[in-house]
Chains A and B, each alone.
Chain A
């Protein structure tokens, strides 16, 4: 069943809202922020793509946000912006479902809770940190804040979270359980994640992200939230339609790429996944937008937003510049199109893949 995309809300390193995303796509450049951590008397400096959630107080009073952590704030801001974009901020949402995809969940709050437990013991572990540390807390905040009283679900499946969650959204709409779905993809940065990535990837985290250097580790950690307002395909869709969602494993059943589709790949500088893109693309033209928002498991949701915006603008946006130089495919990019289909492909380690196809 096709799903119509009625609105997009985005909050990430390139800014907040559709206009910020469009601007980043047009310029092809988003500079990561430098973070400096003091550890054992040594300064650890590294680039990150962080999100600002200041804008959220335009939608929700500050006092109402005080028990809500950064992960859920990004989630709420993404949802607000998507509803605003779809002109549904004032609509009845009693039959709107909430489906959230996250690779890691509420990392910072989870580790804050564990720290409070380790530092002060059971009696002094923060109950607020505990309640926010459960993976579905953000979805619950969205459901409560927007009175979206239909089902609410959080899917955590690392790199495959977006495709997996999207299948649930599709099912709910097909069954008629809901009229609309607020579909979100969220991941956050935290210091523990930096520490883990440093252990796993050593100095490969200094950037810049080079998505098409498949045999090189060049990922830069990012965070953000992206939301799509989805409904059944009979409605007019300003951002086009999601035609199909496929989830599988390339090593079990090889991916069959649609021949004529424009291709957006989730290559984000992770060498372990890069080899699958290298095997499959074999010189085929593709774009990858990770240098605009960073590397994290649910970045596939941001690729989806880019695809939807490309359809709305009928524009193929260029590959972001790397080291000031455009990729080869940029020659063909930035061009207008009238009736194109777009496939978004994301590989995870071990050959898992999600393939999402969109069209006008």
Chain B
């Protein structure tokens, strides 16, 4: 399973997004606000989720802000960290 697909599944499970399926989450859809509708509390949970499931640490807001925009940006961030 590729990182994007796993991310979508993990997001649904860990953030209890019962009303969404992985197929309904677009790769370029904003995670926060208008898109998937996540909020600041989810951002904190998301940092934990990424570390727990992908072994990648998001150290601060400077690093986190661009990474947590969409599924694509987050997957790219995880991939880069795993390879680096």
Asked, given contacts A127-B41, A128-B41, whether A66 binds B17 with beta carbons under 8 Å apart, the answer is yes
Interface segment, B21-29, B45-53, B64-72, B73-81?
B45-53
Asked, given contacts A63-B37, A120-B52, whether A127 binds B44 with beta carbons under 8 Å apart, the answer is yes
Tell me, in angstroms, the Cα distance from A62 to B48 when the chains sit together: 23
CB within 8 A of A62: which of B15, B18, B44, B52? B18
A123: chain B residues within 8 A (beta carbon): 48, 51, 57
Tell me, in angstroms, the Cα distance from A124 to B16 when the chains sit together: 17
In chain A, residues 92-143, which have Cβ atoms closer than 8 Å to a Cβ of chain B?
120, 123-128
Tell me, in angstroms, the Cα distance from A125 to B52 when the chains sit together: 9
* Nearest B residue to A129, CB-CB: B45
Tell me, in angstroms, the Cα distance from A59 to B17 when the chains sit together: 18
Chain B residues bordering chain A, tally (CB within 8 A): 14
B19 at the interface (CB under 8 A from A): yes
Chain A residues bordering chain B, tally (CB within 8 A): 11
* Nearest B residue to A124, CB-CB: B52
Residues B41 and A124 in contact, CB atoms below 8 Å apart: no
B16: chain A residues within 8 A (beta carbon): 66-67
* Distance between B28 CB and nearest chain A CB, rounded to angstroms: 22
Tell me, in angstroms, the Cα distance from A120 to B19 when the chains sit together: 28
Tell me, in angstroms, the Cα distance from A307 to B54 when the chains sit together: 54
Which of B19, B51, B52 gathers the greatest number of chain A CB atoms within 10 Å? B52
* Distance between B41 CB and nearest chain A CB, rounded to angstroms: 7
* Distance between B45 CB and nearest chain A CB, rounded to angstroms: 5
A66: chain B residues within 8 A (beta carbon): 15-18
- What are the 5 tightest A-B residue pairs by CB atom distance, in nearest-first order? A66-B16, A124-B52, A127-B44, A124-B48, A62-B19
Give the A-binding residues of B (Cβ under 8 A): 14-19, 37, 41, 44-45, 48, 51-52, 57
**What are 5 A-B pairs at a CB distance below 8 A?**
A62-B18, A67-B41, A124-B48, A124-B51, A124-B52
